[in-house]
Chain A
Amino acid sequence: MTVGLFIPCYVNQFYPQAAIATLQLLRKLGVDVVYPPRQTCCGQPMANSGFDHLTQECNDLFLENFSGFDYIVAPSASCVLHVKQHIHSTADPAQAAHVRSRVYELVEFLTDVLKVENLNARFPHKVGIHQSCHGLRGLYLAQMSELNALPFSKPVQLLNMVDGLELVTLDRPDECCGFGGTFCVAEEAVSVKMGKDRVTDHTKNGAEYITSVDLSCLMHLEGILQRNKSAVKAVHIAEILNSTL
């Protein structure tokens, strides 16, 4: 089994440590991982802004980079969801369908494909989980509070394997942080208010770290935490799962 490592554009540029943690974690678990160097972006920023018709070249490049792998894994639920729902090709629809069915967010790859039961990780801190909406309601990584169904959570399942880690309970466990792609600048006032309220939920419940499967949400929450000189830090879940502190 060979896994193609998909590192979304903004993670590549701004959060290399999360990408490194993802790579190391997968290798630690015995996975053969390859990073195709010519990758860029999944096309979501354009598509979510209404410019899906401008994404064909992004799609083609993505297919060129990732068609040959058994699985494609990325530390970003949002980008994975976009690939799953929207990557298409007029030239080779079968290839696009193959990629759509083989792409996984890191956490779901660990729980559903590798079926990880031990992690040998240590992170002795109080951690709040920020459920990214695309992970929660798009990829169904956990049960959402809207539905009348039994609870489960793939991120919690993994974080419970981390030594010393204590999860904090939030007042609103699955509310959106307000990042929303270009929404964060187009609707700056609402976006920031939503982010501030999410941060408050974590801080008042005692979190030292806020973690998530999506760095885009974390980038937004981190920006608010830093502006307010908060001691609380944002950290991608791959870094916790790969941590041996």
Chain B
Amino acid sequence: MEKQTKDHAALAKAFIRDEEHVNWHDGALWWIRQKRDIASKQIPEWEALREAASQIKSNVLSNLDDYLVQFEANAIKNGIKVHWAVDAEEHNAIVYSILKEKDIRQLVKSKSMLTEECHLNEYLIERGVDVINSDLGEYIQQLDNEPPSHIVLPCIHKRKEEIGELFHEHLGTEKGVSDPTLLTRVARNHLRNVFVTRRAALTGVNFAVAETGEYVVCTNEGNADMGAHLSEVQIASMGLEKIVPEKKHLGVFLRLLARSATGQPITIYSSHFKKPREGQEMHLILVDYGRSRQLGRPEFRDSLKCIRCGACMNTCPVYRKSGGLSYHNTISGPIGAILAPNLDMKKHADLPFASTLCGSCSNVCPVKINIHDQLYQWRQVIVREGYAANTKVLSMKAMAWTLSSPGPYSKMGRAGRWVLNTIPFAVNNKFNPWYKQREMPDGPKESFGEWYAKHNNQTPEAENQSK
């Protein structure tokens, strides 16, 4: 999973080879985007809600230290054991030590993109702990030994026939069965057994309330609740940025989250966890893992407002045509492309370029993150830090010189048009990526500049005659 060497363009090209599949993937995500449009337009105050959410998060980011301290104090008062982790390694070690202390060798997990970022599953499996993802999409991805391709719809890139095949192989369903209801029932039976036998459950955190020390977990399947309520040890992993100041602010975010994610008014389960029930242990791990570094980058700090709804992925035409796995990062799509270079600029130098900067992501975002502007900014930073290929640097320098020198620019233009007209095979060949699936533009005899020099003082009629 970590060993990928191909960049987004190469991985996308491989995904696009099966055009029928791409059309299906694109259509499925566009359908969700349309559901989001309908849901958002049923609320007259939608844009005001987005603005409120954005401002609440601005306040949180500006006072993050205070809110975190407040949250920690209240959580401890509630009986939650609070841990702090600076990075993935520390987070994973904390989870392992909690399990080890109780001699627990099995863990049921509900959806948590943070633990995916930390590669917790691999870490625990290496140490002999059995981990099962209980979110259906993640469960399917786990069976296929693949990371999620979408933060809300982890296996959206798989067709039901592929899932049927996986279930046949791993869960013993009949070959060729692909009925979603039937497959879901099979998964449910398997997971039921997991829920009642595991002693420890881990969940993610959607929102943590500084005022009360509680946290909120949103799912549509109720799997977080099943795990948490049946376990004797409950662990929650949260990124530092998940804080909201007061309980009343949840109303803003819960209304935005599900509508933006799937077009639902609210997630089926929005469960508040505040204190352990009697006899249960409750742990919460606050994880930094690059977040404070991003907070310190003025042009990218607003990326920490993200509530992980996935709307930017559903709306992004590049994502829809290239698939989430082509981003080779846990958080894929437009938001992932501004989060990833913060963690490893070299490895993810390609991601801010995997965009046309169309701006749909920024306008669909429920917390108004200026995603496409940040993609543009990352490009500048990545080039400045020296992560652009040498050939690109040279061609850009040549281009900058030509395009800022009127004389050479005109000569090159004339030469270019002459080539297109006279020896088109010089550009119409396999070394020209434009020409592979597109015709080159025609080369007109004269540029507008040349035409203007000749015709500027003529009447429009004379101009027309001489065209």
Contact = CB atoms under 8 A, between A and B. Distances in A.
Interface of A: 7, 9, 11-17, 19-20, 23-24, 27-28, 35, 37-41, 43, 45-46, 48-55, 57-58, 60-61, 133-134, 136-138, 144-149, 172, 174-176, 178-181, 183-195, 197, 219-220, 222-224, 226-227
Contacts of A188: 9, 13, 433-434, 436-437
B111 interface: no
A28 B459 CA distance: 11
A13 B416 contact: yes
Nearest to A191: B356
A183 B356 contact: yes
B176 interface: no
A133 B456 contact: no
B448 A146 contact: no
B8 A187 contact: yes
A222 B274 CA distance: 59
| Central interface residue in B30, B364, B379, B447, by most chain A CB within 10 Å | B447
11 contacts: A13-B447, A15-B444, A35-B449, A49-B392, A133-B356, A134-B359, A146-B37, A180-B358, A189-B12, A224-B438, A226-B439
Interface in B395-451: 396-397, 399-401, 403-406, 409, 413, 416-417, 433-434, 436-444, 446-449, 451
Nearest to A13: B413
Contacts of B400: 43, 46, 51, 54-55, 57-58
A133 B357 contact: yes
Contacts of A174: 360
A50 B388 contact: yes
Contacts of B357: 48, 133, 180-181
Contacts of B444: 13-17
Interface size class of B (residues with CB under 8 A): 35 or more
B359 A148 contact: no
B460 interface: yes
A172 to B, nearest CB: 7
| Central interface residue in B392, B393, B448, by most chain A CB within 10 Å | B448
Contact of B379 (A48, A54, A144, A224): A48
Interface in B338-363: 352-360, 362-363
B24 interface: no
Given A19-B448, A48-B376, A180-B356, A57 B404 contact: yes
A9 B403 contact: yes
Chain B interface helix/strand/loop/mixed: helix
A137 B360 contact: yes
Contact of B43 (A38, A138, A148, A186): A148
Closest 7 CB pairs of A and B: A180-B356, A223-B438, A50-B379, A50-B383, A57-B404, A137-B359, A176-B358
B144 interface: no
Given A12-B447, A14-B442, A149-B47, 9 more contacts: A16-B444, A45-B399, A46-B399, A58-B400, A145-B37, A175-B317, A190-B321, A222-B441, A227-B438
| Central interface residue in A16, A20, A144, A184, by most chain B CB within 10 Å | A16
B409 A187 contact: no
Contact of A190 (B16, B43, B315, B417): B16
Interface of B: 8-9, 12-13, 16, 19, 22, 26, 30, 37, 40-41, 43-44, 46-47, 315, 317-318, 321-322, 352-360, 362-364, 376, 379-380, 382-384, 388, 392-393, 396-397, 399-401, 403-406, 409, 413, 416-417, 433-434, 436-444, 446-449, 451-453, 456, 460, 463, 467
B353 A20 contact: no
Contacts of A40: 403-406, 409
A136 B359 CA distance: 9
Nearest to B412: A13
A183 B413 contact: no
Given A54-B400, A187-B8, A24 B463 contact: yes
A217 B40 CA distance: 29
B41 to A, nearest CB: 5
A9 B408 CA distance: 12
Contacts of B358: 133, 137, 176, 180
| Central interface residue in B8, B40, B359, B443, by most chain A CB within 10 Å | B359
| Central interface residue in A7, A148, A174, by most chain B CB within 10 Å | A148
Contact of A194 (B321, B354, B416): B321
Contacts of A186: 9, 353, 433
A187 B364 CA distance: 24
A9 B405 CA distance: 12
A189 B392 CA distance: 19
A138 B438 CA distance: 27
Nearest to A189: B13
B353 A12 contact: no
Nearest to B365: A146
Contact of B438 (A12, A39, A172, A192): A192
Contact of A49 (B317, B364, B379, B449): B379
B449 A197 contact: no
B439 A9 contact: no
B360 A194 contact: no
B47 A147 contact: yes
A53 B413 contact: no
A224 B439 CA distance: 7
Contacts of A172: 30
Nearest to B353: A186
B418 to A, nearest CB: 11
A31 to B, nearest CB: 13
Given A187-B9, A223-B440, A194 B317 contact: yes
A7 B41 CA distance: 39
